Structure 1
């Protein structure tokens, strides 16, 4: 069983709920509609991939190399994609946008895509 996938999946699922509630209740009055939508995108992608990690954790043997790459691609992708969005949105809301995070978001997206492509190769 992929213990790493289960731990990260649980952590990311939990934090997605917390951040979603934070965005819906505390940030609603502080963010523009566009900023709130971006924040929600980060939360959605985090939750989707948390669920994927949990499913994979119950079915993949992480000692197999491709399985480990799949798990790590999703974990790194979530961190880079979702958390860079959170940083960009929250910093821009305070008029101190952390521009160095802008190129990190698409890199995170590439890791998420890589995880899906590796999963496809595994199934083929």
Structure 2
């Protein structure tokens, strides 16, 4: 599981930088300001949670516990649903407004799992 989390963290970091650069340089003249802001939000949350995944993986190496695996899973799901739906809405024109909040809730659940795992680590 740790290897998967590190791989996904690196993949999300790589694609986040690439998509951010593409939006800023390649799409600036083609998209409305609101669409660019939406892409920036997607990239921001993707990058933030790429780092969170990396932190979860490092913690899981130090002290493996189920809550850390749950946190990583929720962060993965959150990036796919939240950032992924925003990318598809802007770049493909798909109407996925219902999916985005589910990704946001996944982020919250991941952070909650991480918080509770920290309480267990302290013991």
TM score, norm. by length of structure 2: 0.90
What corresponds to 2:83 in structure 1?
82
Assess if the C-alpha contact under 8 Å between 1:73 and 1:112 holds in 2.
yes
Q: Helix, strand or coil for the counterpart of 1:60?
A: helix
Describe the superposition over 1:54-110 as per-residue Cα deviations: whole angstroms up to 9, x where unpaired: 12212214963211111100001000000100000113xxxxx312x1100000000
Q: Helix, strand or coil for the counterpart of 1:31?
A: coil
2:112 counterpart of 1:121: no
Aligned pairs for 1:1-124 within 5 A = 2-61=2-61, 64-91=65-92, 97-99=93-95, 101-124=96-119
Contiguous gaps of at least 5 residues in structure 1: 92-96
Range with greater deviation from structure 2 (20-29 or 52-61): 52-61
4+ runs deviating over 6 angstroms: none
Distance 1:17 1:4 in 2: 20
Assess if the C-alpha contact under 8 Å between 1:8 and 1:50 holds in 2.
yes
Assess if the C-alpha contact under 8 Å between 1:2 and 1:59 holds in 2.
no
How many residues are aligned here? 118
What corresponds to 1:94 in structure 2?
none
TM score, norm. by length of structure 1: 0.89
